[in-house]
Amino acid sequence: MNIGQNFALLIEQITKLFTAFFNKTLILACSAQLASMVAKFIISSIKNRKIAVKEMASYGGMPSSHTTFIMAYVFGVALDPKIGWTSEIFTFGIVVSAMILMDAIRFRGTVDKINEQTRKLLERTGNTDIIMPKYIAHKASEVVGGVIFAFLYTFTFYLFFYNLFP
């Protein structure tokens, strides 16, 4: 291969990379996560009776944005007639989503307990300069809320926007 052929191959691969970003399942999952972050902001603002912009990107909260992202992806794969429920990628999505959902509840719950003990230790030593996050874990209801939000969002996406993307 000469330099011209290598350059043409490079351009072809870069074009394929950019085309991958217009994958409807990826667009679905990313837009679902953004929508869930907006929903989290609205719910938190109403609940606390003040504008809570920081809540959009905070850990925890209703609905779980991580859950919404991965479950919208899984639902999107399942509903796509070119991929579907019986595909290997759907099975892989289920496995990855189970890991993410467990992380959101169990692992982060353990981190919350460690943070609480560290906070108590810092208070006893008089070191109040370090600010520890209060909670980073999700409650089971927030994760379930993320799954429901993802399902409704995916259903709406496929109902109205499915044919807009290649």
Q: Give per-residue pLDDT as tens, 129-146.
A: 766 666 566 677 888 888
Short-list 92, 104, 86, 112, CA closest to 147: 104
- The whole-angstrom separation of Cα 157 and Cα 152 is 9
pLDDT of residue 90: 94
Residue 118 lies in a domain: yes
pLDDT of residue 136: 63
Please check the confidence at residue 2 and state whether its pLDDT lies above 80: no
Residue 103 lies in a domain: yes
Residue 14 lies in a domain: no
Note down the domain range covering 92: 25-164
The residues, ordered by sequence, that sit 6+ positions from 145 with a Cβ below 8 Å of its Cβ are 62, 63, 64, 67
Residue 45 near residue 51, CB atoms below 8 Å:
yes
pLDDT of residue 153: 94
Residue 18 lies in a domain: no
Q: How many domains does the chain have?
A: 1
Q: What is the mean pLDDT of the chain?
A: 80
Residue 45 lies in a domain: yes
Residue 13 lies in a domain: no
Residue 5 lies in a domain: no
Residue 52 lies in a domain: yes
Which residue did the predictor score with more confidence, 6 or 97?
Answer: 97
